[in-house]
């Protein structure tokens, strides 16, 4: 027993946690029971803290891989002449997103006490005094984990935009937009709810971001495709032309990686490793994705009279976006219903957008905006929080986030458009972005000898 | 100390676990030692429960990604004209699999007390009374985690079939088959062993499913390719024709993802985070995969006189299937032997199947059935359980599972065949499934300007 | 309380941990406080052990997937006529690497007490007496986890070489080299620092292997391309010809998987789940990768006057290699600086190598050697360990590892070259490795009907 004890104490992060216990170890027997209870609790706290932190780091890794998921879906669904361009944009999105979030985003989104609309806790990340953050008081895991998990989320909003504006936006314009939207708008809007701001006080509920992430991205995507206009030839002679994506396997890889990543996106949004809550969330998330696939299949069969695989894939994403706002508030039955509705919604939304000549090459607006709105409202319709009052609160939240997101994105895109031009030239668009901006092709499969 | 204590108690899932401690905190000093011991134990139980649950959720995520692995392997190894079709099938397989497992499968497979052959614990998933399942008494992690981990397993059996019957089966027929096989046969057969049924009582051992998952899938694959017959031109003029797969990188991605996923498939089958057991299983699993690659290389060199990469990839899968039944019962040496034998077996099995004109485009029967049988028998030959008596028990288990799987799959396929027709028309097969059923191509790589 | 207690004790690995507590439960009340404290500590130790083991198994899985990352990057960046060959090499590298590491590598690298330069603790892996290793005294997680985590690292060194020597090395020569380099040189060199040998005593610091893994691989890559010479036509008429890689999406998948895997590579190198240390490491790692992308973008713009995506991708890898030696010793600011410098360094290094007609198809030497050296020196320049004395120690370490790595790789390659020939014939090289050695093509995308 003695050796075990020594070994334990020498362990650097346990020792810090339990040092208080040792000091109290000499107190008198009279208070023995309470002391011992305290010790058990303190030790338990250290274990729970470590477990929470492992789960949140795993969730962070899973949300990170969503960026590969988005890159793959978008490159798979767009034309081979623009493949490098899409990948370039999405790769830089996560890079820029993390760096701006470290510099100002995290501080804007979680400012501590603030007026509810705009707060600020200082520039950059600050190494806590003890250097290790193990006794970080503000949460159930470390400051570093907190930053990185939230930072991985932040870049998602811009990545959603990337797919919608693909095949015609100037890369400089897109990157400039990302800088402002991810650096400023996303964290400020996020602070209103997750930072404990005005919409949080209002009772608005958005568990993992149907609105705060997906709609915020979706509204910006809508603003972008409105300003840019459709790709050349998309709506000629009253017909909607399909441009074949470069690789269906690549898009499939992307969707599966997004589903996988959503285990971290939703599972990590529990903000602890609480066994009941995390595992319930994984179940509702997976059932919504699975039923979203069926919804997309049914919707595709009704509208396009074929086994439309694109709609099955987008149906999965639609189900995932739809469940995100209330994944912790539903049982499995509600999750399945939300998934099927979302999967069908995404088909009807895509057709409707085409009717308005709003050209979205990968269906990002239909997945993230349409189903983001539906999922947010669904919190008031299904599950533990269902009530007419909650639907009304959710609706107000949708509206407020819609206003800030669409307007700010519209203004940023418009300014860039006026200042530098947002759209590439028609020749450039026809021959593809890759040859002009990057000088290489996405695929070079030759066997000439 | 006081603040720490308050903080701890306010934590929702710790508070539930330790509430009992508080009540006993006022008892007299005489029983202090025993009380304190109880407290430490209770706190420890909460930590272990949380750790187990994290590990099992991670394992669940890893088994999920195996479905992308299967989709990638099968799409990579089959012709480009059928790529979308394969991906469509595999994507819907996991969707249908999860939904039927939630509706009836989980209940059929784990019915609680039953007669050993057929049990039932009610339709759907039932939210436990306390809503969080944190005090779920039946296991070392939550009810939700239990369901989702098992649900991810369930769809695997059908996914194995998907590859074998590829390039000629009607998609409606495949999906109908999946509905019945994953929804009914897999969970009923599974209950005999993992549900504590008749084969469990018999002493049959199958740690993670060499038989319960892989053979059950493999027998169905065999029934399917028998009824369907070979692809057109496969065995013309006494020669075996190779149809080139669309993408070797895609197949490679698939095999690596399957190896990764197997860390969860086997590692999660420990059903706890027990450090010794889980980590031993990861080692035996990885060594069997590595030596399976060598076995496949050697086998390919002997039979085909070349560095056959397909056989290296299938050798890895063969090693993984081979170790699965006894991954927790072996040391590293036995794992390497099982891997090498499995890797060579898969080559000889593939050649033998071709001799009988059983056309399996991706080698699924050789990987999952042949090596599944070998792995199940190997439990009686190597490691802790080695004995002639055990070999005999394992053999009986293989037989019983072979009978139920092959017969039920044969009957389901036959009924579908008679009712709707199982195979597409020759023209349809020649031009590819994608153009007929889905209206898009898997790859569109063009640079026309 | 009684049932909970019984349930706990019946749990196999908790029971072992706490059995000591029960025996002491009958001692007199006088020592109650100390006893209770012991109990809490012992229980805590079990929890921490389990948590550490989960984190390390997760890290192991993440390092494993880096092998798919390397395979994808290398296959994506090289010509389509050599795709199968690259994938074949990388797949066998991890197989051979794990098997040799189990047989001799682990023993050579962690020999226990030794003279500081060469030690040996016996052949193969040895199952500890209790069979489960749960009470493994030597570390904070199990013996099996320890082996597998280190084994996944080992194969990385050879995988780095694979890309540099691609498109012209005989596969037999490469595999023979791997056998000796991963089996002998890597673990012996590793023992000098991580095994507690001579360089560890000297004060040399390399947290996760900027030198021990990346430079060791990079030096061997340099030796390989020197002996092999450039690919035919690479430097004709004083110009540097670019050979287009087969698939940019594949290379992108690879880089994202490597970034993901680095969470395990660096995060696991903490060798425990210590919340503060692991999460800080994930932050520095991610910020260095993100700023590496920017560095690569800037470097590419300066040198090639275009938005060079290859340099962005290699910039990410450069940032990751650069931060690896000191990921636990820096704050976020230093990580960003190291990332940007590494990202730019990789561009200038690639151009410089071309000037010396050192042909490295994927930029492996620039990423792993150049940035590995820079990252190792950076430990003495930035962060907690910064001092001139430390720079000098780091420099000596770089030199010593450079000598052993380059010389031994050069000798192994030279012997193979003299004995069997290292380079394929010019006809073979022109028509591609795939058709000669493997008999299949990497991509077969045809729609002939």
| Tens-digit pLDDT profile for residues B294-349 | 999 999 999 998 899 999 999 999 999 999 999 999 999 999 999 999 999 999 99
Pairs of CB atoms within 8 A across A/B: 249
Instruction: Write down the residue that tokens 């290389």 correspond to.
Output: B297
More confident residue, C42 or A190: A190
Which tens digits make up the pLDDT trace of C1-36?
333 333 333 333 433 333 332 333 323 333 444 455
- Which residues 149-178 of chain C have a CB within 8 Å of chain B? 151, 171
The DSSP symbol for A229 reads -
When scoring C10, C18, C91, C261 by the number of chain B Cβ atoms within 10 A, the one with the most, hence best to mutate, is: C91
C363 — phi, psi (to 5°)?
75, 25
Residue A157 has a pLDDT of 86
Q: Which residues of chain C are within 8 Å of residue A171 when distances are taken between CB atoms? A: 307
pLDDT at A63: 98
* Chain B closest-CA separation from residue C446 CA (Å): 6
Residue C139 confidence class, pLDDT cut points 50, 70, 90:
low
Of A48, A282, A430, the CB nearest to B144: A282
- Give residue A390's pLDDT: 98
Predicted pLDDT at C2? 37
Chain segment A179-223, per-residue pLDDT in tens: 999 999 999 999 999 999 999 999 999 999 999 999 999 999 999
pLDDT in tens, A239-295: 999 999 999 999 999 999 999 999 999 999 999 999 889 999 999 999 999 999 999
Alpha-carbon distance B366 to B384, whole Å?
A: 27
- DSSP designation for B215: I
Give me the pLDDT at residue B44, please. Answer: 63
Cα gap A211→A205, rounded to integer Å:
9
Separation between Cα atoms, residue B247 and residue A44, nearest integer Å: 51
> For C98-122, how does the pLDDT look when each residue is reduced to its tens digit (9 = 90+)?
999 999 999 999 988 899 999 998 8
Q: B169 - beta bridge partners?
A: B423
Residue B40 has a pLDDT of 57
Q: What is the mean pLDDT of residues A289-313?
A: 96
- pLDDT (average), residues C393-406: 98
Q: Is A202 on the interface with C (CB under 8 A)?
A: no
Residue closest to A245 by CA, chosen among A359, A434, A79 = A79
Both structure tokens of A299? 């919707």
**What is the arithmetic mean of pLDDT over A316-343?**
97
- Chain B residues close to C127, C-beta within 8 Å: 331-332
Q: Which residue has the tokens 């030692």?
A: B33
From CA C343, how far away is CA C289, in angstroms rounded?
A: 9
The band of B37, judged by pLDDT with boundaries at 50, 70 and 90, is low
Specify the pLDDT at position C19.
Answer: 33
Cβ within 8 Å of C, B 281-300: 282-283, 286-287, 289-291, 293-294, 297
Q: What is the pLDDT of residue C24?
A: 30
Q: Which of A32, A67, A144 sits opposite C279 (nearest CB)?
A: A144
Of the candidates C41, C282, C308, the beta carbon closest to that of A148 is on C282
Dist. CA C165–CA C178, nearest whole Å: 12
C residues 385-444 lying closer than 8 A (beta carbon) to A? 430-432, 441-443
For the record, the structure tokens of A81 come out as 């002449």
B128 — pLDDT class (breaks 50, 70, 90): low
Q: What's the pLDDT score for residue A70?
A: 98
Token reading at C160: 């780095």
Contact residues for C283 (Cβ-Cβ < 8 A; gap 6+): A125, A144, A147, A148, C332, C335
Give the pair of three-digit tokens for residue B384: 């802790």
- Mean pLDDT computed over A296-321: 96
Integer Cα distance of A208 and A204 in angstroms: 12
| CA distance linking residue C88 with residue B104, whole number of Å | 43
pLDDT in tens, A393-424: 999 999 999 999 999 999 999 999 999 999 99
What integer pLDDT is reported at residue C41 of this predicted model?
Answer: 59
pLDDT for A166 equals: 96
pLDDT at C31: 42
- Residue A20 confidence (pLDDT): 31
Calculate ∠ Cα A339-A341-A347, nearest 5°: 105
The proportion of chain B whose per-residue pLDDT surpasses 90, expressed as a percent, equals 78
Q: What is the pLDDT of residue B139?
A: 57
- Please report which confidence band the pLDDT of residue B146 belongs to, taking 50, 70 and 90 as the band edges: very high
Looking at residue C48, its pLDDT comes to: 84
Mean pLDDT of chain B: 88
Task: Give the Cα-Cα-Cα angle C263, C266, C268 (nearest 5 degrees).
Answer: 85
Which residues from B are below 8 Å from C143, CB to CB? 279
B/e letters for A280-316, b = 16+ CB within 10 Å, e = fewer, are: bbbbbbbbbbbbbbbbbbbbbeeeeeebbbbbbbbbb
Mean pLDDT of A358-374: 97
Nearest CA to C72 out of C249, C244, C251 is that of C251
Across all residues in chain A, what is the average pLDDT? Answer: 88
pLDDT at B115 over 60: yes
- Work out the pLDDT band at A169, boundaries 50, 70, 90: very high
Residue B448 pLDDT: 67
Between B395 and A435, the more confident residue is B395
Residue B24 is encoded by which pair of tokens? 């006993």
| C400 pLDDT more than 50 | yes
ipTM of the complex, rounded to two decimals: 0.91
Q: What does the alpha-carbon distance between residue B401 and residue B218 come to, in Å, rounded to a whole number? A: 11
Q: Which residues contact C2 (CB under 8 A, 6 or more apart)?
A: none
Burial environment of residue C93 by CB neighbours within 10 A (0 to 12, 13 to 18, 19 or more): buried
Mean pLDDT of chain C: 88
Q: Which two tokens stand for residue B311?
A: 């056989």
Instruction: Note the pLDDT tens digit of each residue in C248-286.
Output: 999 999 999 999 999 999 999 999 999 889 999 999 999
For C423, phi then psi, to 5°, come to: -110, 145
If one compares C64 and A8, the residue with the highest pLDDT of the two is C64
Give the model's confidence band at A30: pLDDT under 50 very low, under 70 low, under 90 confident, else very high: very low
User: What's the rounded Cα separation, in Å, for the pair B113 and B100?
Assistant: 22
Give me the total of CB pairs closer than 8 Å, taking one residue from chain A and one from chain C.
252
Percent of the residues in chain C that have a pLDDT greater than 90, as a whole number: 78
CA distance A364 to B1: 51
What pLDDT shows up at residue A44?
A: 63
H helix runs in B308-365, sequence order: 309-324, 332-355, 364
Which of A72, A144, A146, A257 to mutate to test binding with chain C, by most C CBs within 10 Å of its CB?
A: A144
- Per-residue CA distances from B113 to A329, B121, B187, B192, B370 (Å): 32, 9, 15, 12, 33
Which two tokens mark A144? Answer: 């570093």
Q: How far is CA C17 from CA B48, C10, C41, in A?
A: 12, 12, 11
Rounded CA-CA distance C242/B402 in Å is 56
Distances (CA, A) of C271 to A178, B24, C58: 37, 38, 12
pLDDT at B13 (0 to 100): 40
Strand partners, A423: A169
Which among B355, B282, B353, B354 has a CA at the least distance from the CA of B320?
Answer: B282
Say what percent of chain A tops pLDDT 90.
78
- CA pair distance B258, A146, nearest whole angstrom: 31
**Taking 60 as the threshold, does the pLDDT of residue B29 lie above it?**
no
Backbone angles phi, psi at B443, to 5 degrees: -130, 130
Neighbours of B174 (CB within 10 A): 24
Contact B447 A441 (CB under 8 A): yes
């Amino acid at each position: 027993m003695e050796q075990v004890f020594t070994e334990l104490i020498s362990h650097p992060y346990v020792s810090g946690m339990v040092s208080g216990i040792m000091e109290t170890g000499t107190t008198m027997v009279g208070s023995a029971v309470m002391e011992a209870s305290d010790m058990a609790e303190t030790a338990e706290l250290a274990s729970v803290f470590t477990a929470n932190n492992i789960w949140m780091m795993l969730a962070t890794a899973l949300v990170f891989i969503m960026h590969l998921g988005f890159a793959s879906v978008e490159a798979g669904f767009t034309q081979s002449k623009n493949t490098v361009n899409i990948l370039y944009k999405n790769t830089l999105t996560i890079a820029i997103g993390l760096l701006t979030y470290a510099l100002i985003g995290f501080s804007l989104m979680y400012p501590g006490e603030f007026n509810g609309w705009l707060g600020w806790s200082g520039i950059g990340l600050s190494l806590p005094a003890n250097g290790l953050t193990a006794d970080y008081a503000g949460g159930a895991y470390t400051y570093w984990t907190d930053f990185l998990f939230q930072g991985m989320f932040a870049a998602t909003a811009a990545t959603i935009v990337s797919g919608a504006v693909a095949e015609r936006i100037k890369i400089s314009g897109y990157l400039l937009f990302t800088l402002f939207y991810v650096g400023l708008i996303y964290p400020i809007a996020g602070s209103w709810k997750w930072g404990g701001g005005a919409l949080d006080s209002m009772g608005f509920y958005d568990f993992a971001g149907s609105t705060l992430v997906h709609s915020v991205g979706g509204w910006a995507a809508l603003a972008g495709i409105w300003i840019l206009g459709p790709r050349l030839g998309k709506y000629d002679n009253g017909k909607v032309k399909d441009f074949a994506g470069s690789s269906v396997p690549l898009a499939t890889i992307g969707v599966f990686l997004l589903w996988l990543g959503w285990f971290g996106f939703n599972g990590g949004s529990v903000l602890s490793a609480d066994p009941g809550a995390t595992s319930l969330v994984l179940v509702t998330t997976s059932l919504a994705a699975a039923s979203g696939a069926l919804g997309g299949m049914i919707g595709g069969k009704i509208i396009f009279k074929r086994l439309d695989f694109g709609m099955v894939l987008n149906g999965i994403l639609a189900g995932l976006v739809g469940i995100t706002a209330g994944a912790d508030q539903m049982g499995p039955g509600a999750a399945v219903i939300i998934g099927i509705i979302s999967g069908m919604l995404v088909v009807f939304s895509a057709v409707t957008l085409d009717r308005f000549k709003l050209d979205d090459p990968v269906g990002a607006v239909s997945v993230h905006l349409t189903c983001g709105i539906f999922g947010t409202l669904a919190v008031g319709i299904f599950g533990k929080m269902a009530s007419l009052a909650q639907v009304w609160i959710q609706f107000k939240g949708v509206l407020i986030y819609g206003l800030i997101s669409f307007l700010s994105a519209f203004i940023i895109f418009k300014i860039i458009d006026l200042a530098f031009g947002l759209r590439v030239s028609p020749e450039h668009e026809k021959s593809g972005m890759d040859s002009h901006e990057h000088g290489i092709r996405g695929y070079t499969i030759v066997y000439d000898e």
